[in-house]
Amino acid sequence: MKNKWSILLLVLLSTLSLSAVNISGTISYERINPLHNGSSTILDYNNITTEKAKQVIVEAINSSGNSIATTSTDDNGEYLLSSLPSNTNIKIRVYAKMFKSSKWDVKVVDNTNGNALYVVEGDLTSTGTSNSQRNLKTLASTTQSPPFAILGSIYLAMQKVLVADSSVVFPTLKMNWTVNNVESGTYYDGHENIMIQGDQNGDSDEYDDHIMIHEWGHYFEAKFSRADSIGGGHTSGDHLDIRLAFGEGWGNALSGIITDDPIYFDTMSSSGWNMNVESATHDTPGWFSEASTQRILYNLYDSHDDTTDHLSLGFKPIYEVLVGPQKTTKAFTSLFTFITALKEKQPSSTQKIDAIVGNEEIATIDDIYGTNRLNNVEAITLPIYTPLTINRAENNICTSTTYGVSNKLNNHKYIKFDINEKKSYPIEIVQTNGRTSDPDFAIFQTYPFKQVALSESDTKGSERKTYTLPIGSYILDLYDMQNTKKACFSVNIGDKSGIAPDNNNESSSDTIGTTLPENKIIALLLILAIMFIPALFIRTELKI
C-alpha cells in the first residue's frame, strides 16, 4: 500500500515538473522630459519618467538562442508568454519593433550597423515550476531607452489616427537612429525611412517627440494624403511657396495635435529652442506662412478658445479632409485646398473656420486656387494661378526673389489651362524684360494629380518644348533657375504657327514623373541619393 502511494506521488511530481508555466511582466523605458525656459528648451535630467513600452515584440529565448514563444506588450506595456516549458533556462528579449498584422509595422534600427534592430534582454534563468514575473526596464543613462522613446512617439500618433479611422493600415516604417547620426539631419525620405539625428554632443532628437511626430506627419501626408511640397530650407517668418507652407505647417500642427501640447521644441546638448504653435507672435501672417498654417490647423483642432478661435473640431474632420479631398484636389496642396474642403465638409462651422483663418490676415478662402486675396503682398503675386487659353499668349507673368530664392513665394508661378483635344502642343515661354533668366517649367495633370512633363534646358531668356497632352485640366509651374531678381514672361501654349522651334530637344523630358528639382545641384544630389539609398538599405537587418 505504502509503495502504491509513493509511485502515485512520483507520477504527480513528474507531471508537475513537465507542466507548462507562464511568464508575464511589464516592459518600460525611461524618458528624459524637456524643460522650457522662455524660448529655449533643454532635456531635463532631473525629470526622467518611466513610460510603458506599448505594443513592442517580446520573445522567450532558450539557452541555444532560439525563440520558443513570441508576443507583444499591450497598451500598459504588459506581456504574457504562456505555455513555456517548466524548469527550462530562458531569457526575455524585447525588440524595438511594433508589429500587428494588417495594422502597423514600425521598427528602430541602427543605420550605421547593418540596420540592426535594437533589442534588450533579461538574464538567462530557469522558468521554474510555477508562473512567474519578469519585468524589464531600460535606463535613460544608456542607449537602450531612445529606441523605445521613439516608438512611443510614433505609437501616440498612430493611436490618434486610429481613433479617427479604425480601419487604417499603416505602411511599413523604419526609424533610423544611432548616436553616430551626427549632423545627418532628421527627415523623412519620402518612402519608408525616417532618419533621426542622435548626436549626444550636439543635436539629438530621440526625446524630441514633437520632431518625431513632425517627420511622421510627412510620412502620413505621403502615404495617406498628398504632399506637393517642393522642400528646401524655411523658417516660420518666411513668405513660402504655398505647397511648402502647408506641408511644414501641417507637420508642426500635427505635433501639437497628437501630444495635445502646443509647445513645439527641439533640444540640443547646449540650448535648444521652442515655439508655441497656438500663440507664438505673428511673424508675417498670411497664406504663404507656415506659422499661420500651423496655428490655423491647431486652432481648428484644439478646445482651448483663444483670440478668434471658438471652434473645437477635434482630429477626425482634419483627417477626413487630408485623406479625401486634399488627396484628389486639382490644385496644388495648400491652405486653400484644405480650408475649401473643410468648409464643404463642415458647413455649420463655416463662420468659425473663417474667423480662425481671418486672424492670420487671410481673406476668406472660398476656392482651391485662392482667388480674391488681400493686396498685402508684392503686386506680381496675384493672381496665384493665372488662367491661360490655348493659342492665346499670357503676357506679364513674373517671378521674383523679393522674399528669397528657390522655394520662397513668387519663385514659382502657376498657370492653369485646359486641353480639349489630344495632340501635340508647342509650349513657349519667353522673357519680356531682357535675357537674364533661365525659365524652366513642369506640367501637372490634375486628375489624377501627377507631374507629366519637365522642361529644363539651359538657354537664357526662353524655354520651348512640345508635348503631346491628352484631354484634361493642367497646371504649368514656371520658375527661373537663374533666380533673377524680377523676370517677366510671355507664356504661350498652342498649335498655331508662329511659335519658334523647340530649344529644349532633350528627348528624355517628354514625360517625366519625378518630383520637381529646385536647381541642377539638387537634381544631381537627388540622382546620387536615388542611386545610393538602396545600397544603404540593402544591408541585412536582424530578422525576427
Q: Which residues bind Ca ion (CB under 5 A)?
A: 203, 205, 208, 266-267, 299, 302, 304, 306, 309, 311-312, 438, 440, 457, 463
Cβ 413 to Ca ion shortest distance, Å:
14
Nearest CB to Ca ion, comparing residues 21 and 311? 311
Closest CA to 414 of 334, 482, 356: 334
**Which amino acid, residue 255?**
S
Continuous H helices in 93-208: 145-164
Cβ 304 to Ca ion shortest distance, Å:
4
**Which amino acid, residue 174?**
K
Cβ 274 to Ca ion shortest distance, Å:
11
Nearest CB to Ca ion, comparing residues 206 and 238? 206
3-state secondary structure 395-408: EEEEEECCCCCCCE
Grid coordinates representing 22 are 507562464
Residue whose entry in the numeric block shows the C-alpha cell 533621426? 196
In DSSP terms, which residues pair with 277 in a beta bridge? none
Nearest CB to Ca ion, comparing residues 191 and 282? 282
Cβ 44 to Ca ion shortest distance, Å:
14
Contact indicator for 175, 108 with CB cutoff of 8 Å: yes
Nearest CB to Ca ion, comparing residues 471 and 500? 500
Closest CA to 291 of 239, 332, 326: 239
Cβ 178 to Ca ion shortest distance, Å:
15
List the helix and strand counts (H, then E) for the chain.
10, 26
Contact indicator for 328, 338 with CB cutoff of 8 Å: no
Cβ 439 to Ca ion shortest distance, Å:
5
Cβ 491 to Ca ion shortest distance, Å:
13
Residue 112 burial (C-beta neighbours within 10 Å; 0-12, 13-18, 19+) = middle
- Sheet containing strand 462-469, edge to edge, reads 394-400, 486-493, 423-431, 462-469
Nearest CB to Ca ion, comparing residues 127 and 299? 299
Residues 354 and 4: their CA atoms lie apart, in Å, by: 89
Nearest CB to Ca ion, comparing residues 126 and 307? 307
Nearest CB to Ca ion, comparing residues 110 and 266? 266
Grid coordinates representing 239 are 513668405
